[in-house]
Chains A and B, each alone.
Chain A
Amino acid sequence: MTHEMIIAGFGGQGVMSLGELLTYAGMHEGKEVSWMPSYGPEMRGGAASCGVIVSDEPVGSPVVTEATAVVVMNLPSLDKFEENVLPGGCLFINSSLIERNSTRTDIKVYRIPANEEAQALGNTRVAGMVILGAVIAVTGVVAIDSIGEIFTKVFGEKRAKLWDINKQALERGYAIAKEMMA
Chain B
Amino acid sequence: MAVVFKKSPVLADVPLHYCPGCTHGIVHRLIAESIEELGVADRAIGIAPVGCAVFAYNYFNCDMQQAAHGRAPAVGTAIKRVHPDSIVFAYQGDGDLASIGAAEIVHAAARDEKITVIFINNAVYGMTHGQMAPTSLPGQVTTTSPYGRDVNHCGYPIRVCEMLCTLEGNQYMERVAVNNVKNVLAAKKAIKKAFQRQVEGKGFSLVEVLSTCPTNWGMSPQEALKWVDEKMIPYYPLGCYKGGDK
Instruction: Establish whether A and B are touching in the complex (CB under 8 Å).
Output: no
Residues of A in contact with B (beta carbons under 8 Å apart): none
Taking Cβ atoms with an 8 Å cutoff, the residues of B that contact A are none
